């Protein structure tokens, strides 16, 4: 009997210690593409999240953060599989991610099945992740792919004088959103897009696309990322292509500009737009770059938009946890209220959310330039302040434009 009592006492002690430990910690999942064509993007995403966590000493709301990483390959199925493991097996209470567009749409739907877990975006930038049928527990403190195009269509039409442009992009939700955002301005200014080329993620042979590009165009708008962007630029240059380029946000990001090859010189002067500019002279950006370089000496010369996006979304989680003193009770109600009302300064300016829990933030119009040490970077041409998800239009009017897809919009 004494042995039984002693055993029960020991079990109670272990349970108490485990409970106390659990009360003093919060499990956070970070999900990024660490496999497939976007691996290099995912690696820099993790650097951004890790930097924010390091700056907070892996503490928030007076509690220790236990961080568990998840890996996907940019496909919706892989993202949901990784999210399920993080939530249902590892027991994370907050999930940061994913990286890619179709992944974000899938995670939004998964979030609806997990009402007691809070989901905060990584860099996934498909428009409908938040614009249509949003999940009440999904928050995005980074702008979407259409917002990333603010200023570009007008600039290439009126300043570069490109009137006729074809597009080359990957065949999924994020590039649909990018092309939508670019064409919204370009077509309104008077531009024409006679042809759109769509390719699968991980496409290695662009010869048929390159052969089909008309000769009588002023430029090619390219929305390809990671290895896809490098492969197209290399093959187009090798084929003797001479049309000027217009860059989607991740086509001339550091994940592409930091690679080796002759395509580097070809992209100099390419106009693009996105949530960062490498030579931003703001004190907050300079501090972010310095901290990134110190923490990750083998990273890129300047943090990519993936590092920036995961940093901002992770920072939002940390600030909200501090605000509610780590209180995740009542289905994380207080945490979500804190996230919804956050208005804070980031390395790239002020960020706040709209009623769909979608970021309103600044956007950068840029051109690729070459630094004295030889590395390529995006220099600031213009900053477009406070870009919202409907690009300044009333939401009802914007929704009438329809969903971004392979055929929408056109220049009619």
Q: Answer whether CATH 3.40.50.2300 is correct for domain 2-143+283-360.
A: yes
- Residue 341 is given by DSSP the state T
What is the phi/psi pair of residue 52, to 5°?
-60, -45
Q: Looking at residue 19, what is its pLDDT?
A: 40
Count helices and strands in the chain by DSSP H and E runs: 14, 15
Which residue shows structure tokens 């390419």? 270
Q: Looking at residue 247, what is its pLDDT?
A: 97
Tell me what the pLDDT averaged over the chain comes to. Answer: 93
**Neighbouring C-alpha atoms within 13 Å toward the C-beta of 73:** 9
- Tell whether pTM > 0.85: yes
Q: Provide the token pair at 129.
A: 């992740």
How does DSSP assign 122-153, residue by residue? SS---GGGTSSS--TTEEB-S--TTGGGTTHH
For the chain, give the number of residues: 412
The residue ranges of the chain whose pLDDT is under 70 are 1-22
Q: Looking at residue 15, what is its pLDDT?
A: 42
- Residue 164 is given by DSSP the state B
How does DSSP assign 64-81, residue by residue? EEEEEEEEE-SSHHHHHH
Q: Looking at residue 36, what is its pLDDT?
A: 94
> By C-alpha distance, which of 369, 329, 316, 345 is closest to 120?
316
Residue 179: strand, helix, or coil: helix
**Domain residue spans in the chain?**
2-143+283-360, 147-280+362-399
Q: Looking at residue 3, what is its pLDDT?
A: 52
pLDDT one-digit tens code per residue, 38-66: 999 999 999 999 999 999 999 999 999 99
- Residue 100 is given by DSSP the state S
How does DSSP assign 182-229, residue by residue? HHHHHHHHT-B---EEEE-TT----HHHHHHS-SS-SEEEEE--HHHH
Given this chain, do its domains 2-143+283-360 and 147-280+362-399 carry the same CATH topology? yes
The CATH H-level superfamily of 147-280+362-399 is Response regulator (3.40.50.2300)
Which residue shows structure tokens 């390529």? 376
Q: Looking at residue 17, what is its pLDDT?
A: 39
Q: Looking at residue 5, what is its pLDDT?
A: 52
Interatomic CA distance for residues 182 and 329, integer angstroms:
43
> Which stretch of DSSP H or E encloses residue 27?
strand 25-33
């Amino acid at each position: 009997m004494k042995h039984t009592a002693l055993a029960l006492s020991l079990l109670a002690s272990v349970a108490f210690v485990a409970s106390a430990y659990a009360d003093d910690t919060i499990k956070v999942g970070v999900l990024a593409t660490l496999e497939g064509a976007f691996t290099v993007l995912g690696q820099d995403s993790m650097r951004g999240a890790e930097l924010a966590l390091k700056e907070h000493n892996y503490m928030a709301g007076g509690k220790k953060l236990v961080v568990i990483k998840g890996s996907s390959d940019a496909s919706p199925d892989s993202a949901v599989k990784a999210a399920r493991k993080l939530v249902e097996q590892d027991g994370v209470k907050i999930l940061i991610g994913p990286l890619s567009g179709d992944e974000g749409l899938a995670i939004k739907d998964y979030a609806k099945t997990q009402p007691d877990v809070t989901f905060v975006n990584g860099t996934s930038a498909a428009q409908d992740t938040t614009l249509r049928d949003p999940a009440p527990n999904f928050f995005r403190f980074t702008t979407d792919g259409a917002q990333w195009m603010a200023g570009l269509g007008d600039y290439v039409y009126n300043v570069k004088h490109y009137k006729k442009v074809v597009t080359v992009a990957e065949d999924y939700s994020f590039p649909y959103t990018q092309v939508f955002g670019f064409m919204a301005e370009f077509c309104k200014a008077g531009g024409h897009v006679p042809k759109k080329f769509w390719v699968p993620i991980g496409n290695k042979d662009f010869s048929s696309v390159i052969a089909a590009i008309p000769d009588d165009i002023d430029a090619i708008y390219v929305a390809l990322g990671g290895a896809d962007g490098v492969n197209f630029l290399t093959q187009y240059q090798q084929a003797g292509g001479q049309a000027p380029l217009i860059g989607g946000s991740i086509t001339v990001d550091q994940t592409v500009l930091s690679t080796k090859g002759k395509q580097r010189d070809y992209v100099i002067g390419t106009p693009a737009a996105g949530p960062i500019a490498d030579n931003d002279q703001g004190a907050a950006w300079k501090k972010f770059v310095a901290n990134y370089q110190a923490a990750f000496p083998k990273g890129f010369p300047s943090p990519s938009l993936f590092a920036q996006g995961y940093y901002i979304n992770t920072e939002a989680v940390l600030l909200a946890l501090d605000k509610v003193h780590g209180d995740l009770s009542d289905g994380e109600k207080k945490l979500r209220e804190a996230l919804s009302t956050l208005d804070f300064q980031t390395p790239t300016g002020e960020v706040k959310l709209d009623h769909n829990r979608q970021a309103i933030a600044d956007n950068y119009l840029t051109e690729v330039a070459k630094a004295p040490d030889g590395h390529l970077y995006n220099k600031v041409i213009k900053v477009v302040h406070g870009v919202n998800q409907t690009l300044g239009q009333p939401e009802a009017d914007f929704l009438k434009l329809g969903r971004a897809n392979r055929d929408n919009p056109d220049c009619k």
